Amino acid sequence: MTVDPAQKSRFSRRSVLVTPAAVAGGALLTGAALAPDSNAGSAAAVRQITLYAESLPGGLFGYGLAPGAATIPGPLLEIYEGETLEVELVNNTDQRLSIHPHGVDYDVNSDGSPLNASFNAPGETRTYVWRTRKQVDAGGGRFMPGSAGYWHYHDHALGNDHGTVGIQKGLYGGLIVRRRGDLIPDRQFTVVFSGMLINNKKAPDTPMFEARQGERVEFVCIGHGDLPHTFHLHAHRWADTRTGMLTGANDPSPVIDNKNLDPGSSFGFQVLAGEGVGPGAWMYHCHVQMHADQGMVGLFLVRNPDGSMPPGAQAAIDRFQHHHVAGPQADHSNHHG
């Protein structure tokens, strides 16, 4: 299975949001006409999108940017700190559902919770308003945090009042609130650990993320479901900060390559693909051994700078395909004694 990275960018586009070059693990929301800093200073910009919640084969559900275009995870949404996003959600299913964001500001009508009667009845269209804010100097060397961060959104109403079934069946996606001046990546990948699945798939069907050696790639990692997880990426590391980078030579933040990704949590980071390690097929996986063994594993394929396959990468991909169909299972029964 070789994949042309160019294929990854064949998604609908809308001129509403920040423009990365390519997104995998979810649809792309871009603003081709919007340079990253084009509206610096217009803090009150209001952006509008329409999302369609739809049924998918196998009893699954997804959010999409057009009818028939729902994906799991849903589109990666991205705005700048200070902006407002109006999300018109069209419910094309026969279920009660909603959209609940993390990190941003919303009043009770946009909470996305049945508690606040904030949901879409079957067939209903409803608009949810998400505002963001810049940090505020509270005096005395203290700042109240702004909205910038790697956040996410998910259903909070399908199946029960906490959206447990909606989340289980695929109604989730990433949400980035960028700060002016933040680096814009070349490629973006959304990774959702939910149950024992990645983006509702098991290996070998988990997403293979692709980039060329040296490209700036951004991972947006989201946890859901009932189980604790840890996200590990081979051969790359990041700082445990808002951006994954450090702010100075003496920044005390830990540098890590493995991080808890437990239900409701999210984080993100940028790395230069293959920097210092070269191209190849690198694993990303849950480091809970039983979860990895049962399929919470995927590949981050770093191609040569010209886009060609590096030596050994196709063999690794073939091995990955074979292993997770026919590979041996470890005995977890006596792990704990």
Touching a second copy, residues 145-164 (CB under 8 A): 145-149, 151, 159-164
Rg (CA), the chain: 20
Of residues 272, 304, 309, 314, which one binds a second copy by CB under 8 A?
272
Q: Does 183 bind a second copy (CB under 8 A)?
A: yes
Span 285-304, contacts to a second copy by CB under 8 A: 285, 287-293, 297
Q: Does 189 bind a second copy (CB under 8 A)?
A: no
Span 11-30, contacts to a second copy by CB under 8 A: none
Contacts of 112 (CB under 8 A, 6+ apart): 98, 99, 100, 101, 106, 118, 119, 128, 155, 156, 157
Stretch that binds a second copy, among 34-42, 44-52, 69-77, 327-335 (CB under 8 A): 327-335
Of residues 10, 140, 306, 325, which one binds a second copy by CB under 8 A?
140
Q: How many residues bind a second copy (CB under 8 A)?
A: 116
Distance CA 123, CA 53 (A): 10
Nearer to a second copy, 13 or 234 (CB): 234
Q: Does 129 bind a second copy (CB under 8 A)?
A: no
Contact 177, 81 (CB under 8 A): yes
Span 190-219, contacts to a second copy by CB under 8 A: 195-196
Span 235-264, contacts to a second copy by CB under 8 A: 235, 237-260, 262-264
Place of tokens 């299972």: 329
Neighbours of 333 (CB within 10 A): 7
Q: Does 103 bind a second copy (CB under 8 A)?
A: yes
Distance CA 34, CA 43 (A): 15
End-to-end CA gap in the chain: 41
